[in-house]
Amino acid sequence: MKALITGITGMVGSHLADYLIEHTDWEIYGVCRWRSPMDNVSQLIDRVNNKDRVYFDYADLNDQISLITVIRKVKPDYVFHLAAQSYPLTSFTAPVDTLNTNILGTCRLLEAIRLQMEDDKNYNPVVHVCASSEVFGRIPADKKPEDGIDEDCPFHPASPYAISKVGTDLLGRYYAEAFGMTVMTTRMFTHTGPRRGDVFHESTFAKQIAMIENGLIEPIVKVGNLESLRTYADVRDAVRAYYILVTKNPIAGEYYNIGGKYTCLVKDTLNTLISMSTVKDKIRIEEDKERLRPIDADLQVPDCRKFTKHTGWEPEISYEKTMEDLLNYWRNRIKNGEEFLTR
């Protein structure tokens, strides 16, 4: 079996590759851009160099020909489409790039797969399109569901990124319904852990704390909106969910909400990370207006019963373990002498 992962150099893609290496005998093909940073896949480099189950192919979501070429060459049995411009705050300053990469890029990939299916009538891969819980955005107070956000909650995107993921979500379902492709869409809620980018709130908190512990910055953690309600999952639970999604009775056109079970305000997450610090009594908190979005998704609490009923998946890694591992990830990078922006 062959699996193709777009976005393999990202947090989720790299963890998915790790999971598939450990739990399957599949060959893993990662789609990279020539400028993709390799930090998250350093553990895979020896395998790539030795052609040991892991292969990198260069392609770009904004280049149709490169995607057609990769699909034609690899003919993957499973496709995990994780690549995206995935930073909500960045999408406010780069909306066109965000919409182009996430909507048209997804369309280009699905079209490349469709064309290969047209050429080879026996070819019908299982495709996972990763949308986002951000599609639900700002939910009016009188419409906030008691049991969390289910799959049929109306979309109310609160950023260009969220709008782009609405398009991604609908494209996945369209290609399933229109062309008989086995495409499934997920709306993963907040998921984090080691390798999380520092543009996300819990990761920038952890990075700043690790830098404070090493005397690299003043004992001040700069923050944005602390009042948003989030439900956290560990990235390692998330990639296990993605594997189960494509291997356990995949249903074309289905869409699922996936997320953790621990819910708290962003300020509680900050306090958890500070409580784990060796200098917790010295740390102060300061609002940084540059970290505030013009509009924010204020409630991100999932109802995952549909996915759990279909697959039996449940999150296993505790919130405390996730946050501890995230903080230690940044401590280790700083210990190794890496330098970072203080964002």
Report the CATH number at residue 42.
3.40.50.720
Please check whether residue 178 lies inside any domain of the structure.
yes
Please check whether residue 278 lies inside any domain of the structure.
no
For the record, the structure tokens of 96 come out as: 């066109």
What's the gap between Cα 136 and its chain centre? Answer: 16
Quote the CA–CA distance of 164 and 189 in Å, as a whole number: 16
What's the pTM value of the predicted model, to 2 decimals?
0.96
Q: Which own/partner pairs from 35-39 qualify as long-range (CB within 8 Å, at least 24 positions apart)?
A: 36/9, 37/9, 38/9, 39/9, 39/195
Please check whether residue 101 lies inside any domain of the structure.
yes
- The one-letter code for the residue type at 6 is T
Please check whether residue 209 lies inside any domain of the structure.
no
Query: How many domains does the chain contain in total?
Result: 1
Please check whether residue 43 lies inside any domain of the structure.
yes
Please check whether residue 331 lies inside any domain of the structure.
no
Please check whether residue 61 lies inside any domain of the structure.
yes
Please check whether residue 217 lies inside any domain of the structure.
no
Question: What pLDDT is attached to residue 290?
Answer: 84
Identify the burial level of 271 via C-beta atoms within 10 angstroms of its C-beta, where 0-12 means exposed, 13-18 middle and 19 or more buried: middle
Q: Which domain holds residue 80?
A: 2-192+234-260
pLDDT one digit per residue (tens) for the chain, 343 residues: 999 999 999 999 999 999 999 999 999 999 999 888 999 999 999 999 999 999 999 999 999 999 999 999 999 999 999 999 998 888 999 999 999 999 999 999 999 999 999 999 999 999 999 999 999 988 766 666 777 899 999 999 989 999 999 999 999 999 999 999 999 999 999 999 999 999 899 999 999 999 999 999 999 999 999 988 899 999 999 999 999 999 999 999 999 999 999 999 999 999 999 999 999 999 999 999 888 777 666 678 899 999 999 999 999 999 999 999 999 999 999 999 988 887 6
